[in-house]
Structure 1
Amino acid sequence: MKNSVDIKMLLTAYEKIKTQGQEIEFGKQLDDIKCTESHDGYSVSLSDDHVSLDIHFHNAYHFHTMNEDPDSVINQTKAEFHNNNEAQIQDFIKKLENLTDKY
């Protein structure tokens, strides 16, 4: 199942965490969302305790959840849920939306 996540909202949330969040060991944190970026800046990650989201160059992105089957994860150019827990992903997206509205 493909999702229809707004990549602009994801990147806006990342930017707000990066500029307004607290320093943590490997990045920044704002509320309970953490962000990190690759050393070359071509990919960023957002995560909470249940979901992580990798955003790559050309706006390709991939969600990972606590119950994901590692054998089902493959490289891709479009965002897909694979065997992820869709409810966890929807909750995570809502957290990101709330964060962008709050800050």
Structure 2
Amino acid sequence: MKNELDAKMLLRVFDKIRRHGEHTSEHHALEGVKAYTDFDGYTVFIEDALVKLSFGFHNQYHYDYQDKSQLEAFEKKIAYIDNQY
């Protein structure tokens, strides 16, 4: 996930969080990472306490974070979920 977001991996992680994570009325959570969609399901959100990723139609995405170390830690969590579940 360096310069280009791996859309297939992201959607796999989203699915794994939904299948294996704890469900609340607003989201699913696994390993400190939350996953949810907007009201129509076109935009996927994956976030932890410091980073928020929105991924939408035509593979458009946006990260919201304060510094690069937060993004790197988030990417490690996403990779861990993809590899372990």
TM-score (ref. length: structure 1): 0.75
Paired residues for 1:22-33 under 5 Å: 22-33=22-33
In structure 2, list runs of 5 or more residues that go unmatched. none
Please give the root-mean-square deviation of Cα atoms over the aligned residues, in Å: 1.4
Query: Runs (4+) of structure 1 moved beyond 6 Å?
Result: none
1:8 aligns with 2:8: yes
Structure 1 stretches lacking a partner, 5+ long = 68-84
Q: Which amino acid aligns with 1:34?
A: K
Alignment coverage as a number of residue pairs = 84
Question: Following the alignment from structure 1 to structure 2, what is the Cα–Cα distance between the partners of residues 93 and 7?
Answer: 13
Residue 38 of structure 1 corresponds to 38
How many percent identity over aligned positions? 35
CA contact (8 A) 2:31 2:77 kept: no
Residue 99 of structure 1 corresponds to which residue in structure 2? Answer: 81
TM-score normalized with structure 2 length: 0.89
Query: Counting helix residues as a fraction of each chain, which structure ranks higher?
Result: 2
